[in-house]
Structure 1
Amino acid sequence: MSTEFVNLTPENIASEHLCCIIRSKKAHPGIDAKRQWLSGRLKEGHVFRKLNAKATVFIEYAPLEKAWVPIIGDNYYYVYCLWVSGNDKGKGYGKSLMEYCLADAREKGKSGICMLGAKKQKHWLSDQSFARKFGFEVVDVTENGYELLALSLDGTKPQFSQNIKRGEIESRELIIYYDMQCPFVLQNVEMIKRYCEMNGVPASFIQVDTLEKAKELPCVFNNWGVFYKGKFETVNLLPDISVLKRILKK
């Protein structure tokens, strides 16, 4: 078991691998998009810490004030991703990464740490049952089953922005909000665009490219959000066309 971790910095970001698509043997446009997005965030206090090995073992978090999510609160960290996959599961890596984030929060005098969850675990969100073992609790909820989990260090609590609580918009067409925080986003957008164009499905793809746009979103968001017929559908990326077709049948 390797115990050496490395944090991405402006100096090493071009040479270090990004864990999410470590298994890909082909050139992947999402990786370059992710690097570019990260380059702008590192100077804002964003942390990407990973195992110093060819593995999918990492945590990614940022000061909540600078996190591209419609969540408000003072002096918190927001965890975008905490991921350990494949043969690296069960070796204590997740515990080490979470403990690092907690130690960082305490050292910097943070009020706590928060993350997006749901009543039913979502595929593209970090394992909330794991977070609960560290003392994370539900501090806010939406009408469509999403939860804000937080570990408070001083008794204060973050909350969802009020404009996301109901998860409804006026437009009836397929609406997808996205940013480049996840390397899989770009290929997902292109796949859905192709399908919609070939099948005459009215759709709008709205890139969230500033912090201000992210904070004003009408839905929960970790890097992705889907609306159809005015209703919020999911924070999950759509891994294949069959998932999109199920949404469009509603």
Structure 2
Amino acid sequence: MNTDHNFINLTTENLSDEHVCCIIRSKKFHPGIEAKRQWLEDRLEEGHVFRKLDVKGTVFIEYAPLETAWVPVTGNNYYYLYCLWVAGPFKGKGYARSLMEYCLADAKEKGKSGICMLGSNKQKAWLSDQNFAKKFGFKVVDTTDNGYELLALSLDGTTPQFTKQAKSQRIKNKELTIYYDMQCPYVYQTIEMIRQYCETNTIPLSLIQVDTLQKAKDLPCVFNNFGVFYKGTFETVNLLDITSLKRILNK
């Protein structure tokens, strides 16, 4: 496996001292980051991996055994890749390749059947670059009616799949409904923004925190840490800003 000393894997011992890449803060308290740390602390003991470059920047990969990954995907002995993100001045230096190669080497070393990730027939801003993943051999192995895709790099010929519930993409509740967990530091501030906007504009809102593995596996939509429904129909896994929120509400 890649033993490049410029990279660090988060552990329960160093988690409180290391930044988590997405939102860089040194001393200032940030609710989203603290929620992420708490979420990670519970996951690391399950084999969850968060590996990052030892710099003050966004260069990391995050993946976990599919059996304990908080996504409505089923499969035997796979890794689920939540996020591979290299931003700003660190792009184009081979870091993303190093991180993906580490994940692949880890999967082979542990005898995994493969690695899978969420994608879409049109790249989503809040999902990892699927074209990059396809260069490593990831292929579409399952799809939903509205264009989301499950990509997998199979090492033994088996493939994972979305759960039946995830493909339903419909709920009885007609008001704006958002399923979310605290894995992404940006989720906290996004939820607060949406809550305030809906209160100010008297828009009915249901916020459902996914706080257990079982809730994640039973979700009625594809999910990476966020899922939006409106008028009973699934809209997106993208975190919303005011513009995209208004676009959904105007449908």
* TM-score tier (shorter): over 0.9
Return structure 1 stretches of 4+ with deviation > 3 angstroms. 23-27
In the alignment, structure 1 residue 159 sits paired with structure 2 residue 161:
yes
Residue 248 in structure 1 maps to residue 249 in structure 2: yes
The residue number in structure 1 matching 2:232 is 230
Which consecutive unaligned segments of at least 5 residues does structure 1 have? none
Letter in 1 for 2:249: L
What is the TM-score normalised by the length of structure 2?
0.97
Counterpart for residue 123 of structure 1: 125
Checking the alignment, whether the CA contact within 8 Å between 1:56 and 1:83 is kept in structure 2 is yes
* Structural mapping, 1:193-204, within 5 Å: 193-204=195-206
Superposition TM-score, scaled by structure 1 size: 0.97
Moved more, 16-25 or 85-94: 16-25
Aligned length, in residue pairs: 248
SS where residue 238 of structure 2 aligns?
Answer: coil
Q: How does 1:52-201 map to 2 (within 5 A)?
A: 52-201=54-203
Contact 1:144–1:166 (CA<8 Å) still a contact in 2?
Answer: no
Q: Which moved more, 1:164-173 or 1:36-45?
A: 164-173
Quote the RMSD (CA, aligned, Å): 1.2
Structure 1 window deviating more from structure 2 (25-34 vs 156-165): it is 25-34
Q: Distance in 2 between matches of 1:79 and 1:187?
A: 23
User: 1:182: how far off?
Assistant: 0.1
**Is the contact made by 1:72 and 1:161 (CA closer than 8 Å) also made in structure 2?**
yes
Counterpart for residue 211 of structure 1: 213
SS in 1 for 2:168: coil
Asked if 1 retains the 8 angstrom alpha-carbon contact of 2:71 and 2:222, the reply is yes
C-alpha distance after superposition, 1:48-94 (max 9, x if no partner): 00001111000000000000000000000000000000010000000
1:24 and 1:229 map into 2 onto residues whose CA distance is 41
Q: Following the alignment from structure 2 to structure 1, what is the Cα–Cα distance between the partners of residues 97 and 143?
A: 26
Partners of 2:29 and 2:127 in 1: CA distance: 25
Structure 2 unaligned blocks of 5 or more: none
SS in structure 2 of the partner of residue 35 of structure 1:
helix
Change (3 A) 1:205 1:87: same
